[in-house]
């Protein structure tokens, strides 16, 4: 029981429940099936991004270029599918977006691994590089006529239910992408040597290298993985919006990082779980969506996100400081 | 400052002076700046090398220069202040609310400026408290305050701009003093003050010590939390000054003005040879780096009129070039730095 109380996930789940009850009392529309499916849909894109960020944070780095990678992959994929004759299945689209994302992620990884540069500044630079390239040389107009396959994919549902008024609400198929990605990332982190190596290098880089973990290879994997997840997230976003807007997604970075940190990942590395990240994403999405349900003007949204980041990191820093002092490290 | 060129000069006698010079990041930067000047001059011809272009550049880069000084202060101590733009906008907005719709009334100018500076100091105290006493990592703390402060500015104005200031106030951004643009004078004053503070005072030496090795700084008896508060107050104060220049130049204050300045300020600091892991950075580097970035930016602007390159040049080309330059310069610094 005491162990349970010490886990951030427990408090997050509790907070989510309390928040849900509170908002539900203020506006019963919160617990409607339509709104819950809406929350799932909104958390898909953010969740895919967040899983990538989680892995980077555990390894002791940070990546702020994932949104630019997402926008790049989604826009380039849509353009390529419209000009080349590759068939119009959604699978091709996702594979292509994943591949574009992978190459951009590996670009980050190469810079970080080869030159051993600070990750924040490398990804700050590459974010501007990717976005600048996309908008200056690929295009700035919104693609409205997405390939048929992507449209069909966006209409797929996992589970559908008719409402009394005749309309139907459904859980979008893309939510499955988030679930599968979460399970995969969780498996890699917990059950493979690679995952343990990522935790190790975040805890202490020198010790991890001495223990025989191949740091550079791991870094390539980490930033490549962020790239793939971002590419898939970008395409999922395009399917959801039924258009590819090159100006979308960028600006989401801080919310995603906030969600992951809220989920208990430490920005100095070595700590973080998939479950915590998923809960963190759900919490941020719920807060953002519910400000509207609660009639709070949208310009307060930034104030609320800022306060949430500060409160959650403050509490994490405070409790971890106490724990360290307990063992005599601080 | 603590290390670099001055001390590496009397190196092994076998190496040529040129090789030694190439190791100084300041010298490399000087070469980059001159190369950009020559490149842009030759690509754009008389349009770039004209008096008018240089005059307009002198009004443009001081804002970015002051922002870069602000971010350098936090980088030197091993932290980073991502909230400078939000602080500048909030401080500018505070002054703007006092000044707005009083075009003839210039008695409010001084109180408005003081208010802006007080607001920025308060923001800095908040950052410093979060980082020094609550022990939140600088990236996260300033990420949070960046959102929070911008949100407050949004909530205050509902997203509208606050415009219309007395003419006397607008000289801060648009006027000249003996033919020198006032913003440039302000930037140079800030740079000079910071240079003196960093190199001639105990506080400056302590900030560098803290950035070089925080653990050693604790054992040397430095009160790290208090130093961190001073760091972030200093960087916020500089941001506040930049905010005043911005609102005076544009004659309006907005909650989300100039968000791209953050990346540019980091870029300038890295170009200037400031070590992002803390401990080193010079004001001279910032001066050169901000100049080189301005050459690049103005040069690209003028290239829009070039017959071949023109169609490919827009704001996004600049964004692309900044990113590429940041990565390139860092990789270069690292390669040359490692050979030592």
> Mapping DSSP to helix (H, G, I), strand (E, B) and coil, where does residue A198 land?
helix
Interface contact flag, B276 A305, Cβ < 8 Å: no
Q: Where are the beta strands (DSSP E) in chain A?
A: 157-162, 168-172
Question: Residue A284's closest CA among A309, A266, A249, A314?
Answer: A309
Contacts of B263 in chain A (CB under 8 A): 124, 128
Residue B31 has pLDDT above 60, yes or no: yes
Question: Residue B83's closest CA among B230, B197, B214, B240?
Answer: B240
**Is the pLDDT higher at B150 or at B29?**
B150
Interface contact flag, B143 A122, Cβ < 8 Å: no
Interface contact flag, B320 A116, Cβ < 8 Å: no
Tens-digit pLDDT profile for residues B61-100: 888 999 999 999 998 888 888 899 999 999 999 988 888 7
Q: Does B160 touch chain A (CB under 8 A)?
A: no
Contacts of A302 in chain B (CB under 8 A): 147-148, 150-151, 154
In DSSP terms, which residues pair with A168 in a beta bridge? A162
Contacts of A130 in chain B (CB under 8 A): 323
- What integer pLDDT is reported at residue A325 of this predicted model? 40
Contacts of B151 in chain A (CB under 8 A): 299-306
Contacts of B149 in chain A (CB under 8 A): 306
- Chain B residue nearest residue A139, CA to CA: B316
What domain count does chain A have?
Answer: 1
Reported ipTM: the value is: 0.82
Q: Does B175 touch chain A (CB under 8 A)?
A: no
- Cα(B281)–Cα(B69) distance, integer angstroms: 10
Contacts of B318 in chain A (CB under 8 A): 132
- Please provide the DSSP assignment of B2-23 as one string: -SSHHHHTT--TTS-HHHHHHH
From residue B32, alpha-carbon distances to B38, B165, B305, B328, B329 in Å are 10, 39, 24, 12, 10
Residue B234 has pLDDT above 80, yes or no: yes
Split at pLDDT 50, 70, 90, the class of B2 is: very low
Contacts of B141 in chain A (CB under 8 A): 310, 313
- Cα(B70)–Cα(B237) distance, integer angstroms: 8
- Cα(B293)–Cα(A29) distance, integer angstroms: 52
Longest dimension (CA), chain A: 65
Q: Does B90 touch chain A (CB under 8 A)?
A: no
- Cα(A330)–Cα(B317) distance, integer angstroms: 48
Residue B39 has pLDDT above 90, yes or no: no
In DSSP terms, which residues pair with A143 in a beta bridge? A244
Angle A253-B117-B73 from CA coordinates, rounded to 5°:
55
Q: Does B134 touch chain A (CB under 8 A)?
A: yes
Contacts of B276 in chain A (CB under 8 A): 118, 120-121
Interface contact flag, B151 A318, Cβ < 8 Å: no
Contacts of A297 in chain B (CB under 8 A): 155, 158
- What integer pLDDT is reported at residue B14 of this predicted model? 52
- What integer pLDDT is reported at residue A327 of this predicted model? 35
- Chain A residue nearest residue B218, CA to CA: A330
Q: Does B332 touch chain A (CB under 8 A)?
A: no
- What integer pLDDT is reported at residue B105 of this predicted model? 66
Series of mean pLDDT values for 10-residue runs along chain A (330 residues): 71 86 85 85 93 94 92 93 80 92 96 87 90 89 84 80 76 89 94 92 89 91 96 92 86 84 82 91 86 78 80 72 40
**Is the pLDDT higher at B239 or at A290?**
B239
Burial class (CB in 10 A: 0-12, 13-18, 19+), A160: exposed
Residue recorded with tokens 């360290």: A324
- Any domain includes A94: yes
Contacts of A313 in chain B (CB under 8 A): 136-137, 140-141, 144
Q: What is the 3-state secondary structure (H, E, C) of A98-123?
A: HHHHHHHHHHHHHHHHHHCCCHHHHH
| Test mutation, B71, B319, B331, B332, chain A, max A CBs within 10 A | B319
Neighbours of A119 (CB within 10 A): 22
Select from A135, A299, A309 the Cβ nearest to the Cβ of B155: A299
- Report the gap between the CA of A172 and the closest CA in chain B (Å): 31
Q: Does B33 touch chain A (CB under 8 A)?
A: no
What's the domain range around A47? 43-157+170-249
Collect all residues with Cβ–Cβ distance below 8 Å to B17 and sequence separation of at least 6.
Answer: none
Q: Are A79 and A139 in contact (CB under 8 A)?
A: yes
- What integer pLDDT is reported at residue B264 of this predicted model? 82
**Is the pLDDT higher at B243 or at B312?**
B243
**Is the pLDDT higher at A124 or at B53?**
A124
Return the CATH number of the domain spanning residue range B29-335. Answer: 1.10.3470
- CA-only gyration radius of chain B, Å: 21
Take residue A301 and report the two structure tokens written for it: 């949204």
Select from B150, B270, B319 the Cβ nearest to the Cβ of A128: B319
- Report the gap between the CA of B7 and the closest CA in chain A (Å): 25
Q: Are strands A168-172 and B252-253 parallel, antiparallel or unpaired?
A: unpaired
Q: Are A49 and A248 in contact (CB under 8 A)?
A: no
Interface contact flag, B320 A257, Cβ < 8 Å: no
Q: Are A68 and A209 in contact (CB under 8 A)?
A: no
**Is the pLDDT higher at A37 or at B168?**
A37
- What integer pLDDT is reported at residue B86 of this predicted model? 92
> Mapping DSSP to helix (H, G, I), strand (E, B) and coil, where does residue A73 land?
helix
Q: Does B105 touch chain A (CB under 8 A)?
A: no
- Please provide the DSSP assignment of A175-186 as one string: HHHHHHHHHHHH
> Mapping DSSP to helix (H, G, I), strand (E, B) and coil, where does residue B242 land?
helix
Contacts of A317 in chain B (CB under 8 A): 134-137
How many pairs of residues across A and B have Cβ atoms under 8 Å apart?
A: 144
Burial track B34-73 (b if 16+ CB lie within 10 A, e otherwise): eebbeebbeebeebbeeeebeeebbbbbbbbbbbbbbbbb
Tens-digit pLDDT profile for residues B127-152: 999 888 888 888 888 888 888 898 88
> Mapping DSSP to helix (H, G, I), strand (E, B) and coil, where does residue A244 land?
strand
Per-chain mean pLDDT for chain B: 81
| Test mutation, B87, B144, B329, chain A, max A CBs within 10 A | B144
Interface contact flag, B136 A317, Cβ < 8 Å: yes
Contacts of A132 in chain B (CB under 8 A): 316-323
Select from B137, B319, B324 the Cβ nearest to the Cβ of A268: B137
**Is the pLDDT higher at A327 or at B175?**
B175
Interface of B with A in 267-326 (CB under 8 A): 267, 270, 276-277, 312, 314, 316-324, 326
Residue B309 has pLDDT above 80, yes or no: no
- Chain B residue nearest residue A132, CA to CA: B320
Interface contact flag, B314 A136, Cβ < 8 Å: yes
- What integer pLDDT is reported at residue B21 of this predicted model? 57
Select from B148, B327, B335 the Cβ nearest to the Cβ of A122: B327
In DSSP terms, which residues pair with B163 in a beta bridge? B252
Interface contact flag, A137 B152, Cβ < 8 Å: no
Residue B227 has pLDDT above 90, yes or no: no
């Amino acid at each position: 029981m005491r162990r349970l109380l010490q886990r951030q996930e427990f408090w997050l789940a509790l907070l989510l429940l309390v928040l849900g009850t509170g908002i539900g009392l203020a506006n019963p529309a919160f617990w409607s099936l339509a709104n819950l499916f809406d929350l799932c849909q909104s958390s898909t894109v953010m969740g895919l991004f967040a899983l990538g960020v989680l892995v980077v944070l555990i390894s002791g780095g940070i990546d702020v270029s994932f949104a630019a990678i997402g926008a790049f992959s989604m826009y380039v994929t849509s353009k390529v599918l419209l000009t080349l004759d590759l068939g119009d299945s959604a699978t091709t689209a996702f594979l292509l977006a994943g591949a574009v994302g992978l190459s951009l992620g590996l670009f980050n990884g190469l810079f970080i691994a080869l030159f051993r540069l600070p990750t924040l500044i490398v990804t700050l630079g590459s974010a501007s590089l990717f976005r600048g390239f996309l908008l200056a040389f690929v295009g700035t107009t919104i693609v409205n006529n997405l390939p048929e396959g992507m449209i069909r994919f966006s209409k797929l549902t996992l589970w559908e239910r008719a409402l009394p008024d005749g309309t139907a609400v459904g859980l979008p198929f893309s939510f499955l992408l988030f679930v599968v990605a979460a399970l995969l990332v969780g498996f890699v982190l917990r059950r493979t040597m690679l995952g343990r190596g990522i935790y190790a290098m975040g805890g202490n880089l020198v010790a991890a290298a001495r223990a025989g973990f191949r740091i550079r290879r791991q870094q390539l994997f980490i930033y490549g993985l962020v790239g793939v997840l971002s590419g898939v997230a970008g395409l999922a976003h395009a399917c959801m919006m039924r258009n590819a807007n090159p100006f979308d997604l960028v600006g989401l970075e801080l919310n995603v990082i906030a969600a992951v940190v809220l989920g208990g990942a430490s920005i100095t590395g070595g700590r973080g779980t998939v479950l915590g990240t998923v809960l963190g994403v759900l919490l941020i999405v719920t807060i953002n969506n519910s400000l509207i349900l609660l009639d709070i003007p949208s310009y307060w949204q930034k104030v609320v996100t800022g306060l949430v980041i500060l409160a959650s990191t403050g509490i994490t820093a405070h409790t971890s400081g106490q724990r360290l002092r307990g063992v005599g490290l601080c | 400052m603590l290390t670099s060129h001055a001390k590496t000069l009397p190196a092994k006698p076998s190496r040529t002076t040129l090789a030694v010079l190439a190791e100084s990041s300041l010298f490399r930067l000087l070469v980059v700046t001159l190369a950009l000047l020559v490149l842009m001059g030759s690509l754009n011809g008389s349009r770039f090398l004209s008096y008018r272009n240089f005059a307009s550049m002198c009004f443009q880069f001081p804002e970015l220069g002051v922002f870069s000084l602000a971010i350098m202060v936090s980088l030197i101590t091993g932290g980073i202040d991502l909230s400078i733009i939000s602080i500048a906008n909030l401080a500018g907005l505070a002054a703007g609310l006092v000044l707005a719709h009083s075009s003839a009334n210039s008695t409010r100018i001084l109180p408005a400026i003081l208010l802006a500076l007080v607001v920025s100091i308060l923001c800095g105290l908040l950052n410093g408290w979060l980082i020094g006493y609550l022990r939140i990592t600088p990236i996260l703390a300033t990420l949070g305050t960046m959102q929070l402060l911008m949100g407050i500015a949004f909530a205050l104005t509902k997203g509208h701009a606050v415009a219309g200031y007395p003419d006397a106030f607008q000289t801060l951004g648009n006027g000249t003093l003996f033919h020198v643009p006032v913003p440039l004078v302000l930037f140079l004053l800030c740079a000079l003050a910071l240079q003196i503070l960093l190199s001639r005072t105990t506080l400056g030496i302590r900030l560098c010590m803290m950035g070089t090795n925080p653990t050693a700084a604790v054992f040397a008896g430095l009160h790290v939390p208090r130093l961190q508060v001073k760091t972030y107050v200093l960087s916020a104060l500089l941001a506040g000054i930049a905010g005043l220049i911005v609102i005076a130049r544009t004659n309006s204050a907005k909650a989300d003005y100039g968000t791209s300045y953050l990346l540019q300020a980091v870029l300038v600091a890295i170009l200037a040879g400031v070590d992002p892991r803390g401990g080193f950075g010079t004001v001279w580097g910032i001066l050169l780096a901000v100049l080189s970035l301005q050459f690049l930016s103005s040069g690209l602007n003028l290239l829009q009129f070039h017959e071949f390159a023109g169609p490919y040049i827009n704001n996004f080309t600049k964004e692309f070039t900044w990113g590429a330059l940041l990565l390139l310069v860092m990789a270069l610094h690292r390669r040359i730095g490692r050979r030592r």
